[in-house]
Structure 1
Amino acid sequence: MLLGCIGDDFTGSSDLANTLVKGGMTVTQYCGLPVAPAAPDVEAGVVALKTRSLPAGEAVRQSLAALDWLQAQGCRQIFFKYCSTFDSTPEGNIGPVAEALMQKLGAGHAVVCPAFPAAGRSLYQGHLFVGDRLLNESGMEAHPLTPMTDPDIRRWLRLQTRQAVGHVAHADVMRGAEAIAEALAREAARGAGLIVVDAVSDGDLHAIGTASVDLPLVTGGSGVALGLPENFRRAGLLTGRSWSFEGVRGPGVVLSGSCSQATRRQVEIYRRDYPALEITADAVMEGRLRIGDIVAFVLSGQPQAPLVYSSADPQTVRRAQEAYGAAALAEAIEALFADLAAALSATGIQRLVSAGGETSGAVVTGLGCSALRIGPEIDPGVPALRVEDAPLALALKSGNFGGDDFFARALAVLAGGTAAGERA
């Protein structure tokens, strides 16, 4: 294994794996901390954790355990993947995990770059944009678990870490990899450990990747990984092997727990033509939902691939959090989706689309998957996934990713079609 990756959620990890596959690497995504050695053909291993919303100390512990396993596989570089909207709180977890990884690796400094222009995330003068909006005006300020109220990534990161935070501005980035490397060295000489690097295009990301060739640790969204495979190719280390994705045409379902604007649009469009069941906070917390009833609904709606969703608007979410407590509500909904995924798999569901990082983590946990192979891209940042040694195909979508008709197209790709092919 050449490149070892640690993801703080399951959807972001599949996003990263997708980027590396497109770059020509043979990639496996591991669901949680692996216990067995990696297969010999794996060039990049992505350990998908569920640490984004954990207490910082626990997130650090799990991330260091993943690092130990990856180092045991012989990795030459480590990549810490977090969301392209820098989902975190003033307490962490991005800063504490990055700092701990740096210390364990003996890294003097590391790149920080959440930018992903293909998905509308750009970083300019240290400020993160979503489309033409600053991060704190994009809807992320209302995120139920990690509200992003400051678009200045340097300022946000300083709240989370003891490291000095540096910055490589776009004026240096646009001059190419050599200028970026010089700017990184300059910031490190000034004492910066975590260095925020601007990026507004894929060309910028490729240049940042090239400049990071000798860094023990790189951190960011999946976008900054665009340039990493080429470093290994130039060194003659990639085999050029590829894996052929085989779809499955069995029964399907869509499970959505994301409350993002993009997912709520996708839910609204999908439910116009397909069976849909809303899961409300009150029903979950009052124990009025039975897994068997939800499974019966999904099975009765076949072959149309029904939707089961809890994607409420921010005001509804806020009221529910005030009534039941944010942590207790999130835990209960995730537990429901985990149990539901397990029950649906047992009935023969073979195509499953999940929306939302926390939901997807719960779904994968419920399915008991240990490793996933990466298939074709459905939308930027969202690949089709095939569970190893099982007739089950998945799509794990971050909340803000995907076009309005994503659910139907994802189900078609999981069945072996193309992203522009027939609907589910």
Structure 2
Amino acid sequence: MLLGVIADDFTGASDIANTIAKGIAPEGGLRTVQYLGVPRTDAAPDVEACVIALKSRSIPAAEAVAQSLEALDWLEAQGCRQIIFKYCSTFDSTPEGNIGPVGEALAKRLGEKGVIACSVFPDAGRTIYKGHLFVGDRLLNESGMEHHPLNPMTDADLRRWLGLQCKDPVGLVDWSVIRRGPDAVRAALVTAGEKGETLVIVDALANDDLLTIAAACAEAKLLTGGSGIALGLPRNFIKAGLAKGGKPEVDAIDGLDAVLVGSCSRATLAQIERHSTGHPVLAIDVNKVMDGTLKADDLVAFVRANHGKAPLVYSSSKPEEVAALQEKYGREAVAHKLDALFAQAAKALFDAGVRRIVVGGGETSGAVVSALGVTSFRIGPEIDPGVPVLVTEDGTGLGMALKSGNFGGVDFFEKALGAISGTGA
């Protein structure tokens, strides 16, 4: 195996798996599998890249470190030449972690310094300039991410934010260095390491910058960041004669469908509104979930009553409504109840024959996939930037799409169901 990824949530894992599998023209990408949790057996011989999806973004930092190191052990046992620690392109974290603690722990185990930290994803509007993260034309802390229910992002200065999480000083390679090419970037990272900087924020404004960074890091043991940092890595292996390249392909999955959404992002709210104009939707009353009067059976009954119509069930709300519910019941209690509700509903729907399932939201995706007992996916074609078709490897004939909250066009849900069945994307 050539490339191994440790991702801190399930949708982010799909995002970077998509980037690696499609690669860039004309070479294409690597044969890629996404695992749900650390595998207990070796990867298949034809796998060139694998992504281990953890649910470690919002757990205590020490637990996230332990899980990530376990994943690293497995990847090294598979012979991986390069490791990526993948986190969200909006740098979702708190002042305590988990990006800094995990990144430093992986770097220490691999004996690395001057490791890039670059969450750039230009195709989704994420760029970094002078160490500040932008979402479109807005600073991160003015993009809506300041209202995130679990990891509110209140500072766009990533060097300062990451510095709160790290034991070692955090460096910066700004865009003036990037524009000078791979050799300049490589030299800057070496200098950062010599100064004791383990993690280094790296600017990038466009995909060409990501290709420059990839070329600079061709021999690096560890990279950290969003899915964009993997853009040029397949090309490195193909040029070295270690892989042939190609396009991702999976079997089409037809049959009954369902859409389950637990994200509160602005993009997701717009997608739900669009979907509701032509398809049945059910809004979850969180108060009824908390008092036990709304159960998974109610969600399943709604979906089954609307088979063939792309039914959608959602718990998404505006930020002020989410804040009021968290104040009333407690943030963790609400999250736990909703995750359990979606998980139970997904399992019942699968048992009832639903084989195309689209999920919105990272935490919701993790809960659903765990409940379904999925252990690995083959990566198929891209639906929208950062979101591929996923098909289970275990022969159950389940096709999925796991969408991070802010990803996807306004018509994403209908498009995703079509892509899974081979009629779109």
Give the percent of matched residue pairs that are identical in Structure 1 and Structure 2: 57
Task: Give the conservation status (yes or no) of the 8 Å contact 2:289–2:295.
Answer: no
Alignment of 1:228-377 (within 5 A): 228-240=233-245, 244-377=249-382
1:399 matched to 2:405: yes
Residue 56 of structure 1: which of 48, 53, 61 is its match? Answer: 61
Match of 1:20 in 2: 20
* In structure 2, distance between residues paired with 1:226 and 1:336: 36
Task: Give the conservation status (yes or no) of the 8 Å contact 2:22–2:381.
Answer: no
Alignment of 1:77-96 (within 5 A): 77-96=82-101
* In structure 2, distance between residues paired with 1:238 and 1:8: 27
Q: Spell out, residue by residue over 1:239-287, the C-alpha distance to the aligned partner (whole angstroms, 9 max, x if none).
A: 3365532221201111000000000000111112111111122111111
Match of 1:209 in 2: 214
**Displacement of 1:183 after TM fit?**
1.3
* In structure 2, distance between residues paired with 1:241 and 1:70: 23
Task: Give the conservation status (yes or no) of the 8 Å contact 2:22–2:30.
Answer: yes
Alignment of 1:30-45 (within 5 A): 30-45=35-50
Code of the residue aligned with 2:398 in structure 1: it is L
Q: Spell out, residue by residue over 1:104-151, the C-alpha distance to the aligned partner (whole angstroms, 9 max, x if none).
A: 111123110000001000000000000000000000000000000000
**Displacement of 1:352 after TM fit?**
0.6
Q: Spell out, residue by residue over 1:2-57, the C-alpha distance to the aligned partner (whole angstroms, 9 max, x if none).
A: 11100000101000000001121000000111111100111111000000010111
* In structure 2, distance between residues paired with 1:165 and 1:378: 36
TM-score, length of structure 2 as denominator length: 0.97
**Displacement of 1:230 after TM fit?**
1.5
Match of 2:119 in 1: 114
Task: Give the conservation status (yes or no) of the 8 Å contact 2:113–2:196.
Answer: no
Code of the residue aligned with 1:393 in structure 2: it is G
SS at match of 2:419: helix
* In structure 1, distance between residues paired with 2:399 and 2:174: 41
Code of the residue aligned with 1:122 in structure 2: it is T
* In structure 2, distance between residues paired with 1:380 and 1:35: 31
Code of the residue aligned with 1:7 in structure 2: it is A
Q: Spell out, residue by residue over 1:290-345, the C-alpha distance to the aligned partner (whole angstroms, 9 max, x if none).
A: 22222111011011020000001101100110111101111111111111111110
Task: Give the conservation status (yes or no) of the 8 Å contact 1:5–1:47.
Answer: yes
Task: Give the conservation status (yes or no) of the 8 Å contact 1:102–1:109.
Answer: no
| Unpaired segments ≥5 residues, structure 2 | 24-28
Task: Give the conservation status (yes or no) of the 8 Å contact 2:267–2:406.
Answer: yes
Q: Spell out, residue by residue over 1:376-415, the C-alpha distance to the aligned partner (whole angstroms, 9 max, x if none).
A: 1010000011111121100000000011111111111111
* In structure 1, distance between residues paired with 2:262 and 2:106: 31
**Displacement of 1:76 after TM fit?**
0.8
Match of 1:127 in 2: 132
SS at match of 1:90: coil
| Unpaired segments ≥5 residues, structure 1 | 420-424
* In structure 2, distance between residues paired with 1:135 and 1:10: 22
Task: Give the conservation status (yes or no) of the 8 Å contact 2:171–2:197.
Answer: yes
**Displacement of 1:163 after TM fit?**
1.5
Task: Give the conservation status (yes or no) of the 8 Å contact 2:21–2:248.
Answer: no
Q: Give the CA RMSD over aligned residues.
A: 1.0
Q: Spell out, residue by residue over 1:34-88, the C-alpha distance to the aligned partner (whole angstroms, 9 max, x if none).
A: 1111001111110000000101111111111111111110111110000000000
Match of 2:26 in 1: none
Task: Give the conservation status (yes or no) of the 8 Å contact 2:274–2:410.
Answer: yes
* In structure 2, distance between residues paired with 1:253 and 1:242: 27
TM-score, length of structure 1 as denominator length: 0.97
* In structure 2, distance between residues paired with 1:153 and 1:223: 17
SS at match of 1:192: coil
Q: Spell out, residue by residue over 1:186-244, the C-alpha distance to the aligned partner (whole angstroms, 9 max, x if none).
A: 22222211111000000000110111112111000000111111121122100336553
* In structure 1, distance between residues paired with 2:256 and 2:340: 23
SS at match of 1:265: helix
